[in-house]
Amino acid sequence: MLKSRETASATLENLYRIFTVPEAPDSTLGGIDQAISNDVVGFLQTHIVALERSIEEIEADFSSSIIPENPTFVSEYTEFVKQKLVAQSVHTAAPGFIGHMTSALPYFMLPLSRIMTALNQNLVKVETSKAFTPLERQVLAMLHRLVYLGDDTFYKQWIHDSEHALGAFCSGGTIANVTALWVARNRLCAPSGSFRGLAQEGLARALRHLNCDGLAVLVSRRAHYSLAKAVDLLGLGRDNLVKIDTDANNRIDMKQLRAACRRLRDDNIRPLALVGIAGTTETGSVDPLGEMADLAEELGCHFHVDAAWGGPVLFSKRNRHQLEGISRADSVTIDAHKQLYVPMGAGMVVFKDPTAMSAIEHHAAYILRHGSKDLGSHTLEGSRPGKALLVHAGLSIIGHKGYELLIDLGIERAKSFAETIRQHPDFVLTSVPQLNILTYRYCPEKVQRCLLQATDEQRGKINQLLDQINQMLQKDQREAGKTFVSRTSLQVPPCNQKRTVLRVVLANPLTTDEILASVLDEQCTIMLQQDIQDLQQQVEALCAEVDDSPVAVCAERN
Amino acid sequence: MLKSRETASATLENLYRIFTVPEAPDSTLGGIDQAISNDVVGFLQTHIVALERSIEEIEADFSSSIIPENPTFVSEYTEFVKQKLVAQSVHTAAPGFIGHMTSALPYFMLPLSRIMTALNQNLVKVETSKAFTPLERQVLAMLHRLVYLGDDTFYKQWIHDSEHALGAFCSGGTIANVTALWVARNRLCAPSGSFRGLAQEGLARALRHLNCDGLAVLVSRRAHYSLAKAVDLLGLGRDNLVKIDTDANNRIDMKQLRAACRRLRDDNIRPLALVGIAGTTETGSVDPLGEMADLAEELGCHFHVDAAWGGPVLFSKRNRHQLEGISRADSVTIDAHKQLYVPMGAGMVVFKDPTAMSAIEHHAAYILRHGSKDLGSHTLEGSRPGKALLVHAGLSIIGHKGYELLIDLGIERAKSFAETIRQHPDFVLTSVPQLNILTYRYCPEKVQRCLLQATDEQRGKINQLLDQINQMLQKDQREAGKTFVSRTSLQVPPCNQKRTVLRVVLANPLTTDEILASVLDEQCTIMLQQDIQDLQQQVEALCAEVDDSPVAVCAERN
């Protein structure tokens, strides 16, 4: 717990001091600043996921709910941060940390973030952001062009147009997705005749005006959970997030999507938007965007693409064909803090139609006045930092070709790791990587064979034990702190049941094939532990009971 | 425009380099890092609002929509940033920048922000944030306690409870306000009997279930524009944001609020929430929170307090009585990037009832699993940075007493500046500072007298000229780049018409009385410009026409 020395006191003089910049690097504060910088460098160089202390143990250091009465010396506080926080955080950029969508950070992001923080611009209005406003508009135009491939004339007209915005900078993909559906909802329910629009009159009246009983958003089962939040927030109700089954490659099943649309029509529910995913969170799969665009056109509804993860695949000549059709989307989400390698807290949504965002436009007397270039008139958020600088820096310093290399590298590595897993006797690949994400599961070859011949009941029992083993594997590996994969549940063969799988995300150029091999090696070592061995023996015993003769498989589904 | 040299190229080797930390401070990248740090220090020491170049001129540097094909050297890019961005940004922390709610930054925020960025934790889940999760929960508990004054037993039970959250950390006050009303909406329309709740079934069915025609949010005319966004987003419709007139002190008029509630009842619209403001954006006024709490209790509706600005007044023994009643609110918004002096992008909302946020709880298979301590299960946003560290740092290093001093200082300074304006022959105080925000207007004494005796038509003409002068004053001062006040429109005497006023926000301990005096001096100098002199002469000419005999004033209202 943090204690404050008696000598630190709340005097005006002390206050002035902490608001004043140190004159020289050899001043006390300058020294602390330097020490902290070195410390971060030290942490970043250890390349190890944080050593495990239980979360309950860590909580003890953060258990007081009383705001300290007296000031604390900066030096004392930074010591606390080093020992209690930095030492107990997760090295998300370590090459062996391949479990989540936390990419590595190019080093130049640190000094540039410092500039961003020090300038403390507020992007809601030009008066507090000045050059950052045109910079953010430029970044949005660049991403817009990457997706929609407009020409010079188009961007010349719209990039700095004070009445419109090509998109919105957001704190992340969730706000970006919410913004896209907010715009879609308000455009579908735009003012018309005596109806003054949903924004003004509300959803219930809008439904009466449209003469329908609800608005639905259709998306595959692999959708990010932000879409469920979005339909709740927007008042549509989670019932109206219609989740469509996927094919064997985790892509939306178009036949079922069409069938769902017919059912909605019968129920007098109008499709508000189809949402295609370019890089599902769990498996990195890309929906057939072109076919979805066709259907959206047929239905006359909004087509949104959640490319929070996969958007930057557009940089790759070799792989961009997988996103074919994305330029027909009405709106596209791309997260910069994912595959643009920008620090946490930077999402974007771009709209094909530069006037689309007028549907959510708002103004105020003291800012966001009509005709001003204030970005705040077209964003869900209000005050916002100048994160666009970091995206601008990435796009400039890494460049189109640099991102192309990064994308291609991740996809290649995923393919070669998938091959390694395929050939491994103890693991089974549960989703083939279309991009740079794959899943697999501990399930030795002979157990795979026995699952094929087991009765439903036997299979259920065996799979439950395998789930337990996979969960323990993931937990023990995380706690050992050398490497990290995540876990989720997915439909897996042979019977398409929802089962625990391990998940690997390859978005760090420093992750080598050797490191990937060591992840599997470590898992094999963990499997030698007594508790897991016990479970394995139970699996073997169950398999011994399975009859050799094949039975009618897969009566049950989960 | 940024040009990339031919020698920078997208090779794997170069990529590896930018993802690797420099080994020593004397490496090239280390040197650049140092240079950037020095540059920021230089910028922060100049204490001058950025020199004016027109926004159109600046846009030319950010006009390309093509992502650079080839990589650029970090050194080259940082040169661009220095010349084109840093030199053209607004020094929001300058003591003469008193126009917006952009507070000064204590210097220690910079190195700590660097740690935060370098660690790149993602607060959505423990697996990518570890110690940052208990830290954020602690910060929320501290703010909760500041507002609700719970006892140790209460916080011991709830602070780290995996099923609940005392509040949510947000990117800013807008998301905080949206979250509060989202929770309020879903709680009012909770599952009951065969109705599975608004979150599931949507708003239209919820209204049928409640047997009413709409849900309204009631707030004073001084409300922040985020509330209009919130009712739009939540599907309630802007018609159902009922704005109540204020008294002469810009506080909600309770009589009119009660009358509005009666009208809603007649229209079969149910009050979802009353929103009290603790520190209005334009005038820093605080609504009578206790009386509003009484009414909310009577109505059985949610009571939210938007204390984005004024929340930290609770630190002050001398001033906290002004927020009396806040502890009866169901939810309270506080922005850390305002009067907690944290960099942009840190808002919070706390809920009196620790189970309230269950109304918006959500889960996913790969994270946010039931029983996990993942903070993401109770936030509107998904992936989020570890900004809570900076709030924790402020609360620890500045401490309760330090914040108390800062609050008291700002309020005192506002009062003394208000006195200066009152005594100035050329200006009129248009809102008395209850906290640390005030507004005033150029309107010389003799014109004030003439306005009292003018006919409606004469008054209209004179006021229009005065509006023009005030707008020019504000614009010219901003462009000169020495000091900065903002402007808005407010009802002003004598006839309570909406007129242009200048706005001053005092939240920088380095802003002295001398600096404030120089703001007025500069305005007096600007008034000597020919274009403004011409307008002043027109005002004088109109006043000369005004009859001495008093007329029935204020027939017209604006």
Give the C-alpha separation, B356 to B370, whole Å.
17
Q: Which residues of A23-42 are buried (b: 16+ CB within 10 A; e: fewer)?
A: eeeeeebbebbbebbebbbe
Give the C-alpha separation, B342 to B338, whole Å.
7
Those residues whose C-beta lies under 8 Å from the C-beta of residue A541, and which sit 6 or more positions away, are none
B405 touches chain A (CB under 8 A): yes
Distance from CA of A329 to the nearest CA of B (A): 19
What's residue B203's pLDDT?
Answer: 98
Mean pLDDT of all residues in A187-195: 97
β partners of residue A246: A252
CB-side neighbour CA atoms (13 Å) of B496: 11
CA A68 to chain centre: 36
Nearest to B100 among A115, A128, A232 (CB): A128
pLDDT at B224 > cutoff 80:
yes
Banded model confidence at residue B291, pLDDT cuts 50, 70, 90: very high
Cβ contact, residue pair A43, B118, below 8 Å = yes
Tens-place pLDDT, residues A164-178: 999 999 999 999 999
pLDDT at B82 > cutoff 70:
yes
pLDDT at A197 > cutoff 90:
yes
Give the C-alpha separation, B491 to B503, whole Å.
13
Q: Give B43's contacts in chain A (Cβ within 8 Å).
A: 118-119
Strand ranges across the sheet with B497-505: B427-431, B437-442, B497-505, B486-492
Structure tokens, A374: 């204030």
Which whole-number Å values give the CA distances from B46 to A251, B38, B39, B133, B481, in the listed order? Answer: 56, 13, 11, 38, 12
Structure tokens, B197: 């709740």
What's residue B42's pLDDT?
Answer: 67
Tens-place pLDDT, residues A44-63: 655 455 566 788 999 999 99
Give the C-alpha separation, B65 to A151, whole Å.
9
Banded model confidence at residue A73, pLDDT cuts 50, 70, 90: confident
DSSP per-residue string spanning A192-252: BTTB--HHHH-HHHHHHHHT-SEEEEEEETT--THHHHHHHHTTS-GGGEEEEPB-TTS-B
Residues 454-483 of B with CB under 8 A from A: 478
Distance from CA of B315 to the nearest CA of A (A): 10
CA B145 to chain centre: 22
Cβ contact, residue pair B400, A70, below 8 Å = yes
Tens-place pLDDT, residues B128-149: 888 999 999 999 999 999 999 9
Give the C-alpha separation, B481 to B169, whole Å.
35
A122 touches chain B (CB under 8 A): yes
What's residue A547's pLDDT?
Answer: 74
Q: Give B119's contacts in chain A (Cβ within 8 Å).
A: 40, 43, 86, 89, 91-92
* Count helices and strands in chain B by DSSP H and E runs: 19, 11
Banded model confidence at residue B66, pLDDT cuts 50, 70, 90: very high
Which whole-number Å values give the CA distances from B76 to A8, B2, B5, in the listed order? Answer: 43, 8, 9
What's residue B30's pLDDT?
Answer: 67
What's residue A3's pLDDT?
Answer: 47
What's residue A544's pLDDT?
Answer: 92
CA atoms B429, B430, B432, B433: torsion sign: negative
Residues 525-554 of A with CB under 8 A from B: none
Listed residue (A437, A434, A443) closest to A466, CA to CA: A443
3 state DSSP class of B338:
coil
Residue scoring higher pLDDT (B452 or A367): B452
A160 touches chain B (CB under 8 A): yes
| Whether the Cβ atoms of residue A169 and residue A384 lie closer than 8 Å to each other | yes
B186 touches chain A (CB under 8 A): yes
Structure tokens, B372: 């996990």
Phi first, then psi, for residue A332 (nearest 5°) are: -140, 130
DSSP E strands, B208-288:
214-220, 241-244, 269-277
Nearest to A89 among B131, B152, B214 (CB): B131
What's residue B90's pLDDT?
Answer: 84
Give the C-alpha separation, A428 to A438, whole Å.
11
pLDDT at B253 > cutoff 90:
yes
β partners of residue A510: none
Lowest mean pLDDT among A484-488, A494-498, B293-297, B349-353: A494-498
B386 touches chain A (CB under 8 A): yes
Tens-place pLDDT, residues A91-125: 888 888 898 888 788 888 988 998 899 889 999 98
Tens-place pLDDT, residues A247-304: 999 999 999 999 999 999 999 999 999 999 999 999 999 999 999 999 999 999 999 9
DSSP E strands, A262-417:
269-277, 302-306, 331-335, 347-351
Q: Give B59's contacts in chain A (Cβ within 8 Å).
A: 134, 137, 160
Those residues whose C-beta lies under 8 Å from the C-beta of residue B231, and which sit 6 or more positions away, are B181, B217, B237, B238, B240, B241
What's residue B7's pLDDT?
Answer: 53
Structure tokens, A78: 């930074």
CB-side neighbour CA atoms (13 Å) of B234: 33
- Quick count: other Cβ atoms within 10 Å of Cβ A320? 16
Cβ contact, residue pair A90, B129, below 8 Å = yes
Tens-place pLDDT, residues A409-463: 999 999 999 999 999 999 999 999 999 999 999 999 999 999 999 999 999 999 9
Structure tokens, A518: 């060591």
Longest dimension (CA), chain A: 86
Best of B23, B55, B120 to disrupt the A interface by mutation (most A CBs within 10 Å)? B120
Banded model confidence at residue B558, pLDDT cuts 50, 70, 90: very low
What's residue A42's pLDDT?
Answer: 67
Q: What is the DSSP letter of B322?
A: G
Listed residue (A353, A261, A251) closest to A298, CA to CA: A261
Give the C-alpha separation, B215 to B272, whole Å.
5
Lowest mean pLDDT among B6-10, B258-262, B301-305: B6-10
Mean pLDDT of all residues in B54-83: 91
Reported as type and span, the H/E element at residue A438 is strand A437-442
What's residue B401's pLDDT?
Answer: 94
A413 touches chain B (CB under 8 A): no
DSSP per-residue string spanning B128-153: GTTTHHHHHHHHHHHHHHHHH---HH
Residue scoring higher pLDDT (A373 or B2): A373
Cβ contact, residue pair B65, A152, below 8 Å = yes
Nearest to B22 among A90, A107, A509 (CB): A107
Banded model confidence at residue A558, pLDDT cuts 50, 70, 90: very low
Strand ranges across the sheet with B167-170: B167-170, B347-351, B331-335, B302-306, B269-277, B214-220, B241-244
SS3 sequence of B82-132: HHHHHHHCCCCCCCCECCCCCCCCCCCHHHHHHHHHHHCCCCCCHHHCCCH
CA B5 to chain centre: 42
pLDDT at B293 > cutoff 60:
yes
Pairing of β A427-431 and β A437-442 = antiparallel
B42 touches chain A (CB under 8 A): no
Examine residue A494 and say whether the peptide bond preceding it is cis (omega within 30 degrees of 0).
Answer: yes
Mean pLDDT of all residues in B188-203: 97
Q: What is the DSSP letter of A82?
A: I
Mean pLDDT of all residues in B471-476: 95
What's residue A557's pLDDT?
Answer: 47
| Whether the Cβ atoms of residue B335 and residue B347 lie closer than 8 Å to each other | yes
Q: What is the DSSP letter of A272?
A: E
Polymer length of chain A: 558
What's residue B3's pLDDT?
Answer: 47
Best of B36, B65, B74 to disrupt the A interface by mutation (most A CBs within 10 Å)? B65
- Mean pLDDT taken over chain A: 91
Residues 429-458 of B with CB under 8 A from A: none
What's residue B22's pLDDT?
Answer: 58
Distance from CA of A83 to the nearest CA of B (A): 11
Q: Residue B547 burial by CB count (10 A; 0-12/13-18/19+): exposed, middle or buried?
A: exposed
Banded model confidence at residue B93, pLDDT cuts 50, 70, 90: confident
Structure tokens, A67: 């705001």
Give the C-alpha separation, B211 to B355, whole Å.
26
- Mean pLDDT taken over chain B: 91
Residue scoring higher pLDDT (A8 or A274): A274
Best of A3, A198, A239, A344 to disrupt the B interface by mutation (most B CBs within 10 Å)? A344
Nearest to A199 among B126, B238, B510 (CB): B238
Reported as type and span, the H/E element at residue A488 is strand A486-492
What's residue A103's pLDDT?
Answer: 77
Banded model confidence at residue B73, pLDDT cuts 50, 70, 90: confident
β partners of residue B71: none
Banded model confidence at residue B6, pLDDT cuts 50, 70, 90: very low
Mean pLDDT of all residues in A136-150: 98
Give the C-alpha separation, A446 to A541, whole Å.
12
pLDDT at B49 > cutoff 60:
no
pLDDT at A189 > cutoff 70:
yes
What's residue B29's pLDDT?
Answer: 64
Cβ contact, residue pair A381, B106, below 8 Å = no
